[in-house]
Amino acid sequence: MRRRRDTERGKASGPRCTQSYCHSEGYVALRRFSRSSILSLSLLAVFRSLSISSSLALLLALSAELRGEDTVIYATGTDSSGRGTTTGTIIDFTGERLVLRTSGGRDQSIPTPRVVEIKTTWSTQKLAGDELVHAGEYEEAVSNYLDALRNERRDWARRQIMAHCIRCYRELAQFDRAAEAFLILLRQDPTTQYFDSIPLSWSPYQPSLTFQRKAGAWLDGGQGATAKLLGASWLLSTGARATAIAALRELTADSDARIATLAEAQLWRTQIVTAKPQDIVRWQKLVTRMPEELRAGPYFALGRAFARQKQSEQAALAFLRVPILYPKDSRLAAAALLSAARELERIDQTKEAVALYREIVRDHSQTPAAAEASSRLENLAAGQGTS
């Protein structure tokens, strides 16, 4: 099978950036050049534009690529401001550490939080999936990812592709498939760095009967705490609400802080109508103690709570954190933008609301929020002359 080189970088770096890692200095500097400029510049000119450490990292990466090796750039120093580069073959990559075997046969272990960037070889199907995700073609993307999975032999790479599949299933509203895939991913690596892909529900949603049966099986607890969390989350809007609430309360004491905090935030969904101002203050403090990558849904729940209290400005701010900080969850980002726009309309910030409605239509056209955003734009244009 024909395979190509690609780089995995941080969330802000585009469609192929699936991990919570920042850019290397060299990559950021190279991005400053336009495509035509890069073609016209010599490698020497590019190297001169970089710092010494970035030039060395780039040279090592180019050398490793010629040898068909993986390249890992990692943070160094007590403040993680330095950069180190190593090449070889990635043996494993979990939520705890990356293990790379050098050409000399030595295994080097790097804590996952220190991994900045990875350059490795990916199949054409995986790369095609990345491009399709960027284009919003999730159904075709997941088909390519599944083809890539069938041919990928590296366990750590298979887990990464599985995380991409989960995202596609979420965007396609195939939440049961997303949950099943997530549980498989978690069984393979309980410490997974892709835990933020967990497909929880953050707004009222009526699952199909088939989905409810699956969620009920997860809720039974036989598959572990994460499965129970997933089951409870999707059954909160069904006749099994009481059982789901009881399970969530139990999970708030789970030894896994990720499970415990998300279970607590899921319970907020049941308390929004009755919550008092002091409850919301407490919820805000809890969100700041959560791992940053898990805050998208809790921020959305906070926004709903503020909106219920008629604190529209606070609600809009909470909602806007979702698309700004977590844009890859397109459905949740669009729902948050829509909710923020509604709150801005309530405090007569119509111009700002219109900008958000337009963003939904432009950037999230395939989400349920797009139709309502389009309708609001039409109504505002008719009633207030908005263009």
Is the pLDDT at 338 greater than 70, yes or no? yes
pLDDT for residue 383 is more than 60: yes
Q: Give the number of domains in the chain.
A: 3
Q: Which of 199, 230, 258 is the last residue of a domain?
A: 199
pLDDT band, residue 38 (cuts 50/70/90): very low
Q: Which residues contact 163 (CB under 8 A, 6 or more apart)?
A: 18, 185, 192, 194, 197
Q: Could you give the percent of the chain with pLDDT greater than 70?
A: 82
Q: State pLDDT tens for residues 245-286.
A: 999 999 999 999 999 999 999 999 999 999 999 999 999 999
Would you state the pLDDT for residue 53? 52
What φ, ψ does residue 98 adopt, rounded to 5°? Answer: -110, 130
Residue 206 within a domain = no
The domain that holds 328 is classified in CATH as 1.25.40.10
Instruction: Supply 191's token pair.
Output: 């410490």
Question: Is 294 found in the same domain as 155?
Answer: no
pTM of structure = 0.81
* In a shared domain, residues 42 and 125: yes
Q: Which domain-ending residue is among 147, 165, 199?
A: 199
How far is the C-alpha of 124 from the C-alpha of 367, rounded, in Å? 28
For residue 224, what are the domain limits?
Answer: 216-271
CA angle 77, 81, 86 (to 5 degrees): 70
Span 304-323, pLDDT tens digits: 999 999 999 999 999 999 99
Q: Give the whole-number percent of the chain exceeding pLDDT 90.
A: 78
Both 190 and 51 in one domain: the answer is yes
